[in-house]
Chains A and B, each alone.
Chain A
């Protein structure tokens, strides 16, 4: 195995800048790896080889000429295929966008281009980011590199698998209810959902606008900080982005965590929690205690309602966000005799079952006579969930929970029961409802060798504390140095 593909993005960026490695050499190594392993893993919808090599050559020229370089100059990154890169196909893993070419760059893509990153491919996801396993992709299911019979998590399963399988050192995901953190946990990598408003959503296909955030997925905590440094910040094109200065996340990452107060919400440590998950979390707590952190039991009393609130809100918003896919200006059109049929058939055939289910649920929740009982009520319970976190963060600096109740389940295990599938997001959903930042870091393996993740949650715009704690744990453990055998 080529050593390049095992290197962290931080290391690669350094070596490329020092001319120890060329960007073309690095990019080719990852593409070669992808060509070898991806037929088995299926992380990518498209590998943008030509585009990537062009970018890599540009980076090498820039470095050779001594011109100013970006923070990720020449470093490859995989992009979830619901983020737009101008002139590159963007499918959102849906038949309805199968032949859509992006007419513009997402803000995060503009920032990555400026930072010198190289786009090596677009990764698979659950259609329109709706799902927890990539089984809802219109094209194929991505496999977990640790065990290809298992799901990679979702919806950013392609990005998680790509990083885990070493076909990319970095990836972007999007997280609406856990879609970065849960697959990161399933694949044994680091995944971060920033504070709502920290990263511009412009150019990420909207699923649920009040919950969506783009975030970094990486092998290590430093890489996560490095990538967040690049993509974070105010954007005048996104009215929900917030004008709070972006600190250098790498600068404070190595700080001591002595005296840090970490909360353990009692509602998350309940019967039914997988025993392997439970053991791993308990060990992690011990490691933190050794590093000087203090643990406090806290309560997030409305946790039990989070999944219900989440599904009402995300489906309601999605039902409007996905109305634009009608085959008029772009996308799949089922030719019919009249407009009404054309709408219904284009959408009926263009969307997969889970997307249609959620559009139906959201349409119902907003329809005349039901608004107050569902959407209106859910908005109010969301306020209570937000308050739970505000109260908790008066007592603690961070909250620690498992990322998911079980390690990655088997492909097909839950696909017939949507509700069971929804409940697998139980630990990640509240974070989006409360808008706080959250992160999953690897904390062990199940007896069967499937990765387990632990979730850290922090105060709004306090990603720094989260990084610090995640890094401290990473340095005390070896999980990030494990690679799947493929």
Chain B
């Protein structure tokens, strides 16, 4: 399976990862060889097989609609890790309308 540098650029932008040119080259090669190895699953006939998407086969796991308020201690602990904050907000670089969603 060939993976092009263009593919790598596209996937890196989806995953929000920056690579320098050198790393990108070795990554392209490594991903290529891993994908090559992975190709072998195509040999398996799975035409009548259901996919397994969960670790276990449980169903209907839910809880009651009851408020449990976080303690101030927990909220403070969450804020303490923030790289930047202003008043009661987490502060980030300005979001441009066109950037996403």
Indicate if A touches B (C-beta under 8 A).
Answer: yes
Interface residues in chain A, defined as those with a beta carbon under 8 Å from any beta carbon in chain B = 86-87, 99-104, 196-197, 209-211, 236, 239-240, 242, 302, 304-305, 307-309, 311-312, 319, 323, 326-333, 336-345, 347-349, 351, 353, 356-357, 359-361, 363-364, 367, 373-374, 376-384, 386, 418-419, 422, 435
Residue positions of B touching A, CB distance < 8 A: 3, 7-8, 10-19, 23, 27, 30-31, 33-35, 37-42, 44, 46, 49-56, 58, 61, 63, 74, 77-78, 80-84, 90, 92-96, 99
Q: Which of B11, B44, B78 contacts A364 (CB 8 A)?
A: B11
Q: Determine how close the nearest CB of chain A comes to the CB of B21; give it in whole angstroms.
A: 13
Whether B51 and A380, one on each chain, are in contact in the complex, defined by CB atoms closer than 8 angstroms, is: yes
Query: With A and B bound together, what is the CA distance between A312 and B1 in angstroms?
Result: 14
* A311→B38 contact, CB < 8 A: yes
Nearest CB of chain B from residue A339's CB, rounded to whole Å: 4
Task: Name the distance in Å between A110's Cβ and chain B's nearest Cβ.
Answer: 14
Residues of B within 8 A of A308 (CB): 37-41
- Give, as a whole number of angstroms, the nearest-CB distance from A308 to chain B: 4
State the CA gap A386–B49 with chains docked (Å).
Answer: 12
Give 20 A-B contacts (CB < 8 Å), ordered by A residue: A104-B74, A197-B56, A305-B41, A312-B41, A319-B15, A328-B90, A328-B92, A329-B90, A341-B18, A342-B92, A347-B15, A348-B19, A357-B30, A360-B12, A360-B27, A363-B11, A363-B14, A364-B35, A373-B42, A379-B51
Instruction: Specify the main secondary structure of chain A where it touches its partner.
Output: helix
A215 and B84 CA atoms in complex are apart in Å by 36
Cα distance A364–B10 when bound, in Å?
A: 9
Q: Whole-angstrom distance between the alpha carbons of A383 and B7 in the complex?
A: 30
Partner of B15, one of A236, A327, A329, A359: A359
Contact partners of A338 in chain B: CB under 8 A: 93-94, 96
Least CB distance from B62 to A in Å reads 8
Complex: A334 Cα to B81 Cα, angstroms: 15
Once the chains are docked, how many angstroms separate the CA of A159 from the CA of B3?
37
Least CB distance, A351 to chain B, in whole angstroms: 7
Residue of A nearest to B47 (CB): A380
Closest residue of chain B to A387 (Cβ to Cβ) is B49
Which A residues are CB-close (under 8 A) to B37? 307-308, 419
Which residue from chain A places its CB closest to the CB of B43 in the assembled complex? A305
Sorted nearest first, the 5 A-B pairs with minimum C-beta distance are A348-B18, A379-B51, A103-B77, A330-B81, A380-B46
Which A residues are in CB contact (< 8 Å) with B58? 197, 239-240, 242
Do B55 and A103 have beta carbons less than 8 Å apart?
no
Q: Which of B16, B33, B35, B53 contacts A326 (CB 8 A)?
A: B16
Report A-chain residues with C-beta under 8 Å of the C-beta of B19. Answer: 348, 356
**Given A360-B31, A380-B50, A383-B52: A339 and B96 interface contact (C-beta under 8 Å):** yes
Contacts of B51 in A (CB 8 A): 376, 379-380, 382-383
- Checking B17, B27, B54, B93 against A240 with a beta-carbon cut-off of 8 angstroms, the contacting residue is B54
Q: Is the CB of A331 within 8 A of B81?
A: yes
Whether A381 pairs with B46 at a CB distance below 8 angstroms is: yes
Residues of chain A lying within 8 A (CB to CB) of residue B96: 338-339
Q: How far is the CB of A390 from chain B (nearest CB, A)?
A: 12
Select one of B11, B55, B92 contacting A210, CB under 8 A: B55
The answer for the CA separation of A207 and B94 in the assembled complex, in Å, is 30
**Most A-side CB within 10 Å, residue of B15, B61, B80:** B15
Chain B residues near A331 (CB-CB < 8 A): 81, 83
Contact A339 B94 (CB under 8 A): yes
Residue of B nearest to A343 (CB): B16
Complex contacts, A337 vs chain B, CB 8 Å:
93
CA distance A86 to B74 in the complex (A): 9
Q: In angstroms, how far is the closest chain B Cβ from the Cβ of A274?
A: 21
Task: Choose among B39, B42, B99 the residue with the greatest number of A CB atoms under 10 Å from its CB.
Answer: B42
Shortest Cβ distance from residue A318 to the other chain B in the assembled complex, whole angstroms? 11
Q: State A435–B57 Cα separation when bound (angstroms).
A: 10
CA distance A239 to B90 in the complex (A): 29
Contacts of A328 in B (CB 8 A): 83, 90, 92
Known: A101-B77, A328-B90. A302 touches B44 (CB 8 A): yes
Docked Cα-Cα span, A211 to B53, in Å, equals 10
